[in-house]
Chain A
């Protein structure tokens, strides 16, 4: 059980992380002026979920704080407190503390000091004259909004209730039942049977029960007598009568308050009990699930351990049943919808939809991806060995098409919005602002850009460092900024976009730019360059990524821990990406990470140089030219240009870049015009082109280490290895002896 509980708890923390992301996004939107009911409700739900789970897992400090936070949010949601900028700022602060609480609960460390924040929250509550006690019964005045928030079928409501935590229903109930309140005064017994029409009117019984549970109540019985068979079940009707036990210490009035908004036609019976009701110690899912809701739904209740996977889509489907549906939705379609995965586009609408997912161990996906990769290679081998006629005969094209589809699908499974990596930036900026006293505004563009999960996981650290660097070194103090005629607040633009097979992530600040004089002086001082080195501006900028370079005059704890931009660069390069720095003195600095879209498969052109084959990423290829005599001309002993429609483009001999001597005349070679991020269009001279093919990228660092200029290697149909060229790195560094490839080892 404890393993299971740990696992469930793990899920809870995952959900917390997601909840925090949702809350932060919502609060940020509120700070930016979006105070729509939907946004506020989203934040409320997220915090509410965290609160609920923290109670279930006994994280008292987290529970206490999230409860107070939720109280404020509840008032804001109800419109009793205006979401003024000040209130929003306080809530952002509260959010940060909440994140710390979650981290503390997760790491088992001391909870953060939250007294000051609690005071602030309380003062918000008081200043609006709102009741600072337990939250109001969450029965919103407008039924429609209520329905949207919580769903309205019994099925949906119950599942929705659990879904934010992602753990099994059983677990919650167990917790409630196995830790009963000590019953010194005789406890209360409450029988609660919502009127038949309660659900239709937005009277959500779950909210009442939850409210009671917050006072220590536990459900001891559910009367299912009036529950009709599945065929006759109207999901908009309420059929249950709950029996709850509330500790005797709770005042009767508090209990009655919970029923304030309940339809008067409902059954509400509150009585002191004389003897303590026997507690069911270990209810099993099939004996007693606490709510009795799963009884009539064998599909669900037979597989309690799969509850997370199975129930979630139902909740989502049910929540999507239009609120105004006049005809009662029959239960059957809802159930039928269980295996239907939710459309991807909807997953970002709100927390209900966010939960439309299946948790799959990433390693399983990787395994699948590897297998698909092998399949692709086998497909290539087949097509190499069969004549075109034979290929048709065995329907190889069809097989290839299917393989391709499987591949695309598997790839898309791993694709996630880059938002996941961006989401931690706002918090970081707030902390940085607090530490440095610099005011910084964040602008984010393209956070829905989808990137391979592996890439997302690995850009977190580089991103953190770039942002820290921007605030620490880039953005000036408010006085300096004003003196320079800039707005007092610095701006950091964080953007992501897809360009061909690459994801471009930029961090741009509007700060002072790189002080090249100082960088140069420092680099000489540290022995990174010699005193007489002639470096271009770009090369000087690049020095900040050199190992052992740090220009911070005081080691702040922001850029601290001795980890510098060199680590950022090697991290990015280890991903097969590149880091570029562009700086304009006085105007700011832009860090650009160009990352591969996927770490797995590449559309490539196979070229030949001598007896070796290389793969050029097709995304970089613009066109191929068979040079006429005289079309390629030398401009120096080591450089050549090609004339193309009146334009001269630099030409590089790939063989020479790899230290392979070749006396081949340009006329006998092919020039492939490639597009590079840094150097624009450049011609690469190769011997011949073999073919075009999708290749599976095998990383070199799995068994070796990344090599500059190479994006990895691949295994061709005949089992031999071809190296994948990283055009941008090759072209960017080809001319500079500093980065010149040392030549082939053999």
Chain B
């Protein structure tokens, strides 16, 4: 999510949960949402790379997003699903707990992420308050963490397989 994006007034984001936290990614990066399916595990990859799966004929890595962001691994359950996104022309699947909603937000509503990062590598591009689709009136608003997909690019994380 570049600064250009944040200057645009209206943006669509897809929100989803990891544990109790609410996250959002730019709608334009989303390719599809699929049910969780055990991927084919790979050797020599960081633990958050769960393996690879077949996305209409191409081999796409599946990433445990929660681990990638430094939290405990997601536990699999019936609503676990994979968000397939495109990052700079490459595809990746993110394991998330539950997909919530598609929300329109104003660029001006986005607050920059605090300097003291809550996770490695500045993967959080900004914070935005959104209304949740919930019956719990007391909890109608929630903080949504907007992810910077570029920072999550897997190719940046090429493991050192030489030494």
The interface residues of chain B lying within 8 Å CB-to-CB of A722 are 40
Q: Does B44 contact A (CB under 8 A)?
A: yes
| Partner of B44 from A374, A701, A712, A742 at Cβ < 8 Å | A742
- Chain A residue nearest in CB terms to B49: A745
The interface residues of chain B lying within 8 Å CB-to-CB of A710 are 42-43
Chain A, range 529-576, C-beta contacts under 8 Å to B? 545-547, 566, 569-570
Measured CA separation A720–B38 after assembly (Å): 10
Contact present for B61 and A741 (CB under 8 Å): no
Q: A745-B49, A746-B50 are in contact. Are A658 and B43 (CB under 8 A)?
A: yes
Measured CA separation A723–B41 after assembly (Å): 9
A723-746 to B contact mask, C-beta < 8 Å, 1/0: 100000000000000110111111
Chain B, range 39-55, C-beta contacts under 8 Å to A? 39-54
Measured CA separation A374–B45 after assembly (Å): 28
| Partner of A703 from B58, B160, B162, B163 at Cβ < 8 Å | B58
Chain A, range 676-702, C-beta contacts under 8 Å to B? 698-702
Chain B, range 10-69, C-beta contacts under 8 Å to A? 38-54, 57-61
Query: Could you tell me the distance in whole angstroms from the C-beta of B62 to the nearest C-beta in chain A?
Result: 10
Measured CA separation A704–B91 after assembly (Å): 8
Q: Does A337 contact B (CB under 8 A)?
A: no
Query: Could you tell me the distance in whole angstroms from the C-beta of B154 to the nearest C-beta in chain A?
Result: 6
Q: A704-B154, A715-B57 are in contact. Are A742 and B41 (CB under 8 A)?
A: no
Contact present for B59 and A721 (CB under 8 Å): yes
Contact present for B154 and A705 (CB under 8 Å): yes
Query: Could you tell me the distance in whole angstroms from the C-beta of B45 to the nearest C-beta in chain A?
Result: 5
The interface residues of chain A lying within 8 Å CB-to-CB of B163 are 528, 546-547, 738
Q: Does B133 contact A (CB under 8 A)?
A: no
Q: Does A709 contact B (CB under 8 A)?
A: yes
Q: Does B146 contact A (CB under 8 A)?
A: no
Measured CA separation A708–B155 after assembly (Å): 15
Give the B interface residue count (CB, 8 A).
Answer: 33
Measured CA separation A721–B50 after assembly (Å): 13
- Chain B residue nearest in CB terms to A722: B40
- Max chain B CB contacts within 10 Å: which of A374, A566, A699, A720? A720
Contact present for A703 and B54 (CB under 8 Å): no
Measured CA separation A455–B51 after assembly (Å): 27
The interface residues of chain A lying within 8 Å CB-to-CB of B41 are 612, 744-746
Contact present for B59 and A745 (CB under 8 Å): no
Query: Could you tell me the distance in whole angstroms from the C-beta of B9 to the nearest C-beta in chain A?
Result: 33
The interface residues of chain B lying within 8 Å CB-to-CB of A744 are 41-43
Measured CA separation A702–B52 after assembly (Å): 12
| Partner of A700 from B46, B50, B52, B162 at Cβ < 8 Å | B52
Q: Does B78 contact A (CB under 8 A)?
A: no
The interface residues of chain B lying within 8 Å CB-to-CB of A719 are 54
Contact present for A707 and B45 (CB under 8 Å): yes
The interface residues of chain B lying within 8 Å CB-to-CB of A739 are 161
Q: Does A293 contact B (CB under 8 A)?
A: no
Q: A547-B163, A700-B52 are in contact. Are A715 and B59 (CB under 8 A)?
A: yes
Q: A705-B154, A705-B158 are in contact. Are A612 and B90 (CB under 8 A)?
A: no
Contact present for A746 and B51 (CB under 8 Å): yes
Q: A702-B59, A705-B155, A738-B163 are in contact. Are A745 and B45 (CB under 8 A)?
A: yes
The interface residues of chain B lying within 8 Å CB-to-CB of A713 are 40, 52, 59
Q: A698-B58, A709-B44, A715-B54 are in contact. Are A703 and B91 (CB under 8 A)?
A: yes
Contact present for A703 and B61 (CB under 8 Å): yes
Q: Does B128 contact A (CB under 8 A)?
A: no
The interface residues of chain B lying within 8 Å CB-to-CB of A715 are 54, 57, 59
The interface residues of chain A lying within 8 Å CB-to-CB of B46 are 745
Query: Could you tell me the distance in whole angstroms from the C-beta of A555 to the nearest C-beta in chain B?
Result: 22
Q: Does B83 contact A (CB under 8 A)?
A: no
The interface residues of chain A lying within 8 Å CB-to-CB of B90 are 702-704
Contact present for B43 and A741 (CB under 8 Å): yes
Q: Does B99 contact A (CB under 8 A)?
A: no
The interface residues of chain B lying within 8 Å CB-to-CB of A374 are 57
- Chain A residue nearest in CB terms to B160: A547
Q: Does A594 contact B (CB under 8 A)?
A: no
The interface residues of chain B lying within 8 Å CB-to-CB of A704 are 42, 45, 49, 52, 59, 61, 90, 154-155
The interface residues of chain A lying within 8 Å CB-to-CB of B58 are 698, 702-703
Q: Does A504 contact B (CB under 8 A)?
A: no
| Partner of A743 from B43, B51, B158 at Cβ < 8 Å | B43
Query: Could you tell me the distance in whole angstroms from the C-beta of B130 to the nearest C-beta in chain A?
Result: 30
- Chain A residue nearest in CB terms to B86: A703
Q: Does A85 contact B (CB under 8 A)?
A: no
Q: Does B82 contact A (CB under 8 A)?
A: no
A320-362 to B contact mask, C-beta < 8 Å, 1/0: 0000000000000000000000000000000000000000000
Q: Does B92 contact A (CB under 8 A)?
A: yes
Q: Does A296 contact B (CB under 8 A)?
A: no
The interface of chain B, by Cβ under 8 A from chain A, is 38-54, 57-61, 90-92, 154-155, 158-163
Closest 8 CB pairs of A and B: A741-B43, A746-B41, A721-B40, A698-B59, A744-B41, A704-B61, A708-B161, A713-B59
Beyond A528-B163, A705-B154, A709-B44, 7 additional pairs, beta carbon < 8 A: A547-B160, A547-B162, A659-B43, A704-B45, A705-B158, A713-B52, A715-B54
User: Could you list 21 A-B pairs, sorted by A, with CB under 8 Å?
Assistant: A374-B57, A566-B162, A570-B162, A658-B43, A698-B57, A699-B59, A703-B59, A703-B60, A703-B61, A703-B90, A704-B42, A705-B159, A708-B161, A709-B44, A713-B40, A713-B59, A721-B40, A722-B40, A742-B43, A744-B43, A745-B42
